[in-house]
A and B are shown apart, each in its own frame.
Chain A
């Protein structure tokens, strides 16, 4: 798992702290964007200013939008070879194991440092088949028609305050386009790094899978620890066209000074499958509720998530599935672990509209509390307007089973090892869905997290 490495570097360009029209125009000019995008950004800024901060969920009172740099350009241009990436940035990603992973088991890698993608590479095999894996700003320049066709169609700027903020100041992120019939059999990985204090990262990711294609996109995030707060507010739009499959895996390990306020939504067309695999380990506050809109018949959606909250952390996560068509199916499995006074919340929605006959949905939320000062909340909503459906929600809260602990200890395991093993068993539903390399790392991370949590 990524760990924090502080390395300072002078940026090529950096906006002043705070947000106004002039800053939005500066960002757009830096990127040499067409007029429609500048207008879109400015309209989004107006929406951001109009919308109030959310009054529900985690405490955002310490987040000061005027104490953040909204755009920081670290290098003059993006590279396609690690050798051409500045040494200090390359070292950061080397320590995170990105370059090594790219050679071994990834189809392509994008690495974003502050506001810009500094490295992007897709293996030739996939380039030849017409796959696009670009940073989003480059996609706007090189494929304007395709880009405009899908951009902000799943998450419009007025969706919520932080979607409006992202729409106003977005920079970087991934643009993935998989042509019809192409199955990318290795994951594409994007890595997001905030390296400066009081920094905002607002990447915008757009994934389009044409009919009968498939892709697995993995994103990782990290930042070094500073005293000042940073803000990560991404928008991810996913479009799964008929019979396609998209799996989106996130391993979020932001530093405990980062507010992680993310909007993720997918639209699944006929017989398409969308899966969000979502691991939240870091950040001060996370508010993230991946959504799947099952738009056409036989579409499937799955959300498997885990949240680990430690001291001074609030992981407010969940999932939403909206069944708009007949015979659509969905499944949500949410696991959470709270320790050292951490707070985890599951906030979910299953909505089945009239006419979505034969829709099936199942939600399972399990929370593990490792000490008496931690807490957990579950706020699910089931909204059903059709008769011929099957919807179920189950939730449980418990601590580590003393009998199971005794069983393992009596067989020679230390208490710490036994607890780590039981916690690994608890999150097995999540780990099972990860590529092997990540699963091993997650198990190690859990073992590390268990250190000092005995008793």
Chain B
């Protein structure tokens, strides 16, 4: 990594020296920089972590055969924030993102995945609790421009007396034969919330693809609550278990590190909702 040029030019190179290490995202988005580009060099495997969502526009360029695990947590104390993550995936590169936490202020987050190298794969899982009085807007775009590319976005949200907007786009161009794209947005409403809007759009320009999207809005299923209560679990604990399961469901197919990262924090997230 060539650090001093990195900060001045807001470009960071993650080379083989850092392969296999865990890096703190805050080191790259510091000094109030508005825009940062991080280049993960060919074949490098790296983990990025952050304990708050950085208020910055960060571009990740993943060179061929690189692997990135991106674990970001939003803390309940985090102020209003606008964040943009732009990912460019080259041939056979792999990215797995887990973004999770409780939103208490106003947050706008845009995540774009340019899946442009043959065989590139990306998955993004957002596990979000929008606390009472908060407002969250999440926009994701899965842009496929190469053959045999795969992208998965799963957004599972718990919504209190708050507002949540989700806009997701899958765009598959004519060259992206054998592309596979999945986009799922599920929302559980916990109280008389103000508003949930989900706009999952799909634009497909070639026929040899496998493309699915879905969105759902509902509350905790009463029959599932009754089932657990009938087995001696009190109502609050039963609801917490169901919400825990709902959030964990977003991690289906994720790597072990992502599951461990999320599992520790989901309990805190559900606690922070102060369920009755």
A7 contacts partner chain B, Cβ-Cβ < 8 Å = no
Chain A contacts with B in 288-321, Cβ cutoff 8 A: none
For A392, give its contact among B191, B209, B210, B214 (CB under 8 Å).
B214
Contact: B209 with A380, CB < 8 Å? no
**How many residues on B have C-beta within 8 angstroms of the other chain's C-beta atoms?**
34
Contacts A372-B207, A375-B205, A381-B199 given; does A395 touch B219 at CB 8 Å: no
For A381, give its contact among B192, B198, B213, B218 (CB under 8 Å).
B198
Contact: A375 with B204, CB < 8 Å? yes
Q: B residues within 8 A CB of A376?
A: 202-204
Contact: B204 with A388, CB < 8 Å? no
Nearest A residue (CB) for B214: A394
CB distance from A141 to the nearest CB of B (A): 46
Contact: A397 with B202, CB < 8 Å? yes
Stretch at the interface among A111-119, A161-169, A184-192, A363-371: A363-371
> Within the assembled complex, what's the spacing in Å between the Cα atoms of A384 and B207?
33
A55 contacts partner chain B, Cβ-Cβ < 8 Å = no
Contacts A367-B204, A382-B199 given; does A398 touch B215 at CB 8 Å: no
Contact: A383 with B174, CB < 8 Å? no
> Within the assembled complex, what's the spacing in Å between the Cα atoms of A383 and B214?
14
Contacts A391-B217, A393-B216 given; does A398 touch B198 at CB 8 Å: no
Nearest B residue (CB) for A393: B215
Q: A residues within 8 A CB of B209?
A: 369, 397-399
A424 contacts partner chain B, Cβ-Cβ < 8 Å = no
For B207, give its contact among A374, A377, A380, A387 (CB under 8 Å).
A374
B194 contacts partner chain A, Cβ-Cβ < 8 Å = yes
Q: A residues within 8 A CB of B275?
A: none
Q: A residues within 8 A CB of B217?
A: 382, 384, 389-392
B26 contacts partner chain A, Cβ-Cβ < 8 Å = no
A378 contacts partner chain B, Cβ-Cβ < 8 Å = yes
Contact: B200 with A393, CB < 8 Å? yes
B237 contacts partner chain A, Cβ-Cβ < 8 Å = no
Interface of A, secondary structure class, is strand
B206 contacts partner chain A, Cβ-Cβ < 8 Å = yes
Nearest A residue (CB) for B198: A382
Q: B residues within 8 A CB of A399?
A: 207-209
In the complex, which of the residues A370, A371, A395, A398 has the most CB atoms of chain B within 10 Å of its own CB atom?
Answer: A395
Contact: B199 with A380, CB < 8 Å? yes
Kindly count the residue-residue contacts between A and B in the assembled complex, taking CB atoms under 8 Å apart. Answer: 112
Q: B residues within 8 A CB of A371?
A: 207
Contact: B198 with A393, CB < 8 Å? yes
B196 contacts partner chain A, Cβ-Cβ < 8 Å = yes
Q: Chain B, 177-207, contact with A by CB distance < 8 Å: what is the 0/1 string?
A: 1000000000101111111111111111111
Contact: A390 with B218, CB < 8 Å? yes
Contact: A398 with B191, CB < 8 Å? no
Q: B residues within 8 A CB of A388?
A: 219
Contact: A377 with B177, CB < 8 Å? no
Q: A residues within 8 A CB of B189?
A: 384, 387, 389
> Within the assembled complex, what's the spacing in Å between the Cα atoms of A9 and B194?
60
Q: A residues within 8 A CB of B25?
A: none
Q: B residues within 8 A CB of A398?
A: 209-211
A31 contacts partner chain B, Cβ-Cβ < 8 Å = no
B257 contacts partner chain A, Cβ-Cβ < 8 Å = no
For A383, give its contact among B193, B197, B202 (CB under 8 Å).
B197
Nearest A residue (CB) for B196: A384
For B212, give its contact among A369, A372, A395 (CB under 8 Å).
A395
Q: A residues within 8 A CB of B215?
A: 380, 382, 391-393
Contact: B201 with A397, CB < 8 Å? no
Contact: A396 with B207, CB < 8 Å? no
Q: B residues within 8 A CB of A377?
A: 201-204
CB distance from B99 to the nearest CB of A (A): 21
Contact: A396 with B216, CB < 8 Å? no
A373 contacts partner chain B, Cβ-Cβ < 8 Å = yes
- Sample of 16 A–B contacts (CB below 8 Å): A367-B204, A372-B206, A375-B206, A377-B203, A378-B213, A379-B202, A382-B199, A384-B189, A384-B196, A387-B190, A387-B192, A391-B216, A395-B200, A395-B214, A396-B211, A397-B202
Listed in ascending order, the chain A residues whose CB lies under 8 Å from chain B are 354, 367, 369-399
